[in-house]
Amino acid sequence: MSALPRPVDDCTIEPTAALEMVVRGASLHRTLAAIAGIVSGENPSARCAILLFEDERFTPAAEHNLLPCDRELMRSFQLCSTLKYLNDLARQNGVEVRPLMTQTAELIGALVVFGMGQASNASLNQGLEQVCLLATLAVEQKHLTEELSYQAHHDPLTHLWNRTWMEGEIKRVLMAANQAKTNVGLAAIGLDRLRVINDVLGCQVGNELLRQVARRFLEAIRSRFVLARDGGDEFTVLMPGVSSEAEVAEASEKLLQCFNDVFRIGDHELIVSASIGTAFAEPASLSGPDLQNRAHTALRYAKKRSPGRIAPFHRSMVNIPPERLVMEQHLRFALQKRELELYYQPQIELQTGLLVGMEALLRWNHPALGFISPGTFIPLAEEIGIIEEVGDWVLEEAIAQKEEWNAQHLPRFRVAVNVSAMQFSRNSFANLVAQKIRRARIQPRELELEITESLLMTNFDHGVRQLSLLRSLGVLIAIDDFGTGHSSLAYLQQLPAHRLKIDRMFVREISHKEERPPLLSSIIGMAHALGLGVIAEGVETPEQLGVLSAMNCEEIQGYYFAKPMAARDVPAWIAKAMPGAVLIPNRSEELLLRNC
């Protein structure tokens, strides 16, 4: 048995002095040793020990004036796993035992008194009760201090270190690294679309997801690196002693692999992705805040430019062009100033050459900045939190425009509208669509909603429910950008969709009319096997048109037929391209099309 702490001196101590040690927050062992000495003041022949009950066993914490035979008996006491066992053993050896109990009747230890003999009176009992009370106060004070310290430095949800602790640890590790001339890496990790999961499935599912992510991260880093949760959807991994930026990238890749498997939470299977920003510090090159700022700057860059990937910090990331700040300021008021506009691009049925649809495409025409690319301002709208408002406006405007075209007695065709993640995440989205259709008095089949497969995979169960409701209304459903994301047949066959929209990247691969890209052919064949139609976007050449027709792609959209046009130009385009049916612009290509 290891040597126990001795009291400050061999003299007895007054209870008030021991109480002062408790209040002052003195060392627990020192305080308990002083409290044990109080017993000798009540009975000079008595010897005392205090045991703590932790992990289902008694552990010696303090003693006063124990004899060698007392210590021998203490070894037996350490084998006790219950208070009853300890009491029985103590009675057999003529030892007095008093339990240390909290106000909630939790056993936290025991006071063991040797050499009491037959002495027993009210004054002595009162003295022992006072000693037990002081010892209990000292232990509870220690536990409370430890609990407060734990709460101050740990995340209550995942039990990882928190951001406050990590900031201090980064500072400490950098100081040590500077002295040892070693490098330090830092990875800032952000989950993609956690807010959507919380909004759709509730915070309980989101919280369990965070706990599962934390466990996977711990398994990935083992004990080599330090993991903390910054709060929200972000985590930080501190990598002391790394040899190079390549090692930081390798470790970050292992963290990213934690998202390769689905997360099973209750009845839900969630496919989640994450983005990572990394920073690297050579000896004496960066302070703690600088290293953190670089990692989080890289993370923001990754989320905006390459979600689901790793972005090492580069100085160019902090050079925000002044025009971007101007654009952000103007975008916040673009709706109110009616600067946003919908353009429409025709969708053509290959077999008949008829106009079957128009895709609504958002454009921003600023009076001073001119036309701004959707690839520029839509990510910005997401970043500044107005994409949901913009998406609702697009849906409302497209439906109203379709109603106006119907009133002009144009041929009946559908209008396709892209749906944002924030719109689709709302449980009320299908009901909102139904209300808009009823108010506008258009047929549900005249509206097609384009949902990206990556959006559906964020929460597959929610996606299926929403699509089922929409389809039951009669609204058409297209899976947009198909082939750029997960493209899982097991998931696809469960989706209540009408058609797949093949991304332009597959169409772009066609350069000769004899080509049959195998992946494109497989996608079209798979869609048909599932009873889905296929529309290909980005068609620009006769060769692409001919190949897609030969592969039985039903519908086509792209510059080959028409560029996106303002709504006011659509009636004139239809009048010129038809009457009765939209003819393919080049007659020879029409013949080629029908002979393929």
Provide the pLDDT confidence category of residue 591 given band limits of 50, 70 and 90. Answer: very low
Strands 355-366 and 370-372: antiparallel
- Say what percent of the chain tops pLDDT 70: 89
* Tens of pLDDT, residues 311-347: 999 887 776 565 666 777 788 788 888 889 999 999 9
Q: How far apart are the first and last CA of the chain?
A: 91
Which pLDDT score, from 0 to 100, does residue 11 have?
46
- Domain 323-595: give its CATH superfamily: EAL domain (3.20.20.450)
* Tens of pLDDT, residues 298-314: 998 888 777 888 999 98
* Tens of pLDDT, residues 341-387: 999 999 999 988 889 999 999 998 888 778 887 878 887 887 777 88
Number of H helices, E strands in the chain: 24, 22
Residue 587 in this model has a pLDDT that exceeds 60: no
Provide the pLDDT confidence category of residue 592 given band limits of 50, 70 and 90. Answer: very low
Q: Among positive and negative, which fits the CA dihedral 247, 250, 256, 262?
A: negative
For residue 46, give the DSSP letter: -
Which pLDDT score, from 0 to 100, does residue 389 have?
86
Residue 586 in this model has a pLDDT that exceeds 60: no
CATH fold for domain 161-317: Alpha-Beta Plaits (3.30.70)
Kindly state the average pLDDT of the residues 517-531: 84
Which pLDDT score, from 0 to 100, does residue 3 have?
42
Strands 183-191 and 234-242: antiparallel
Which pLDDT score, from 0 to 100, does residue 345 have?
96
Which pLDDT score, from 0 to 100, does residue 10 have?
43
Which pLDDT score, from 0 to 100, does residue 78 have?
87
Across 135-144, 201-210, 408-417, 477-486, least confident range: 477-486
Provide the pLDDT confidence category of residue 111 given band limits of 50, 70 and 90. Answer: very high
Residue 159 in this model has a pLDDT that exceeds 80: yes
CATH fold for domain 15-153: Beta-Lactamase (3.30.450)
Structure-token pair, residue 383: 């970043």
Kindly state the average pLDDT of the residues 555-569: 94
Which pLDDT score, from 0 to 100, does residue 484 have?
56
Locate the DSSP E strands across 222-319: 226-231, 234-242, 263-265, 268-270, 274-281, 310-312
323-595 shares the fold of 161-317: no
Which pLDDT score, from 0 to 100, does residue 314 have?
86
Strands 533-536 and 555-556: parallel
Which pLDDT score, from 0 to 100, does residue 581 have?
44
327 and 380 Cβ atoms separated by less than 8 Å: yes
Domain boundaries defined on the chain:
15-153, 161-317, 323-595
Provide the pLDDT confidence category of residue 417 given band limits of 50, 70 and 90. Answer: very high
| Calpha distance 496→473 (Å, rounded) | 12
Residue 542 in this model has a pLDDT that exceeds 70: yes
Across 81-95, 227-241, 398-412, least confident range: 81-95
Residue 123 in this model has a pLDDT that exceeds 70: no
Structure-token pair, residue 567: 């709504």
Kindly state the average pLDDT of the residues 225-250: 93
For residue 160, give the DSSP letter: S
Decide which of 196 and 322 is more confident: 196
Decide which of 9 and 455 is more confident: 455
- Quote the mean pLDDT of the chain: 84
Provide the pLDDT confidence category of residue 189 given band limits of 50, 70 and 90. Answer: very high
| Residue showing tokens 């009457």 | 579
Residue 384 CB partners (closer than 8 Å, separation 6+): 328, 331, 332
* Bridge partners (DSSP) listed for residue 191: 274
Decide which of 13 and 237 is more confident: 237
| Residue showing tokens 């916040």 | 332
* Tens of pLDDT, residues 46-85: 888 999 998 888 999 998 888 898 888 988 888 888 999 8
518, 522, 560, 516: which is closest to 538 by C-alpha?
A: 560
Whether this prediction's pTM lies above 0.85 is answered by no
Considering only CA atoms, give the Rg of the chain. Answer: 36
| Calpha distance 246→262 (Å, rounded) | 28
